[in-house]
């Protein structure tokens, strides 16, 4: 991890952390499913322009579009819809924390169900700690001690589960360049969300939309989707998938800082404890801390 890669990592975490703030502001005015369409369609147009500038061809073939549609469904249409619907009732901070469970679901799907990864003891421990954190996050609402609806929290967890399936399915796009794969899934999700957007377009008045919502929409689509994809793929190429995955642990902290300072949000002690358990589980699942301890032991 060079200094530039660390800078890219924190820049990406900041952008994705801000995406929860952008979404929270935008869903107050734009219907959530319509907002999903705007996000993927605008980001898709931006990435197609980047493809043109780089001289890369996009495969407009029937064979290519099947995987693009499925990836767009699992990685964009379903999770974005669930997150935005959840954020109509949840704070940006809590939504980002619940979304941080994505690596837990990714490992369970890849290792336990699809048998794509090896199961080690430390990974099982990490998964159990992660689910304990999720249980702690839900406990306050289930016990009636918090006003965050359980259905909205389950929607955010459903988004994390969908991302987990997308991570396993992404292997089918390996023969495409990262930029083509990103543009392809955004094109696929735009086509999937278009009929839904036509249903909800009448429930939104562009002329009555405040500039803050327009700014949030541009931030969500151009910066937090198209721009974030470009940064993420550069980070993957230069630092590797393992190092790039650290961004998952930083995003909730960024979202919490901006949620508290800009939106006046607050978390309960139980939710903070749940976040701690979840992040500790992610660290154990990642395995680098354990490897560093072993490396420091005397021979």
CA-to-CA distance for 44 and 194, rounded, in angstroms?
Answer: 13
pLDDT greater than 80 at residue 287: no
For a pLDDT cut of 90, what percent of the chain falls above it?
Answer: 62
Q: What does the pLDDT look like over 150-188, one tens digit per residue?
A: 999 999 999 999 999 998 888 888 889 989 999 999 999
Biggest CA–CA distance in the chain, Å, is: 70
Buried b (16+ CB within 10 A) or exposed e, 9-41: beebbbbbbbbbbbbbbbbebbbbbbbbbbbbb
For a pLDDT cut of 70, what percent of the chain falls above it?
Answer: 93
Q: What does the pLDDT look like over 110-138, one tens digit per residue?
A: 877 767 666 778 778 888 898 898 998 88
The domains of the chain are located at 3-294
DSSP character for 265?
A: -
Cβ-Cβ contacts under 8 Å for 98 (sequence gap 6 or more): 86, 90, 134, 137, 153, 156, 157, 160
CA-to-CA distance for 247 and 190, rounded, in angstroms?
Answer: 26
CA-to-CA distance for 224 and 218, rounded, in angstroms?
Answer: 9
């Amino acid at each position: 991890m060079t200094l530039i890669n660390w800078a890219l990592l924190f820049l990406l975490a900041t952008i994705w952390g801000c995406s929860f703030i952008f979404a929270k502001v935008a869903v107050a005015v734009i219907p959530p499913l319509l907002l999903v369409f705007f996000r993927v369609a605008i980001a898709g147009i931006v990435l197609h322009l980047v493809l043109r500038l780089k001289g890369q061809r996009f495969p407009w073939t029937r064979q290519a579009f099947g995987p693009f549609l499925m990836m767009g469904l699992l990685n964009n249409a379903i999770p974005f819809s669930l997150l935005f619907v959840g954020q109509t009732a949840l704070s940006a901070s809590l939504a980002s924390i619940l979304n941080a469970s994505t690596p837990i679901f990714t490992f369970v799907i890849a290792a336990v169900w699809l048998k794509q990864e090896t199961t080690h003891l430390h990974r099982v421990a990490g998964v159990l700690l992660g689910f304990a954190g999720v249980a702690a996050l839900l406990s306050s609402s289930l016990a009636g001690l918090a006003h965050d609806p359980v259905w909205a929290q389950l929607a955010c967890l459903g988004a994390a589960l969908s991302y987990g399936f997308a991570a396993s399915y992404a292997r089918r796009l390996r023969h495409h360049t990262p930029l083509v794969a990103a543009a392809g899934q955004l094109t696929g999700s735009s086509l999937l969300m278009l009929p839904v957007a036509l249903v909800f377009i009448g429930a939104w008045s562009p002329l009555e939309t405040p500039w803050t919502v327009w700014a949030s929409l541009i931030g969500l689509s151009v910066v937090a989707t198209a721009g974030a994809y470009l940064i993420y793929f550069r980070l993957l190429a230069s630092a590797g998938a393992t190092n790039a995955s650290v961004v998952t642990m930083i995003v909730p902290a960024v979202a919490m800082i901006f949620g508290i300072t800009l939106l006046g949000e607050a978390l309960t002690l139980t939710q903070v404890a749940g976040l701690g358990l979840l992040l500790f589980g992610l660290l154990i699942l990642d395995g680098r801390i354990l490897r560093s301890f072993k490396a420091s032991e005397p021979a």
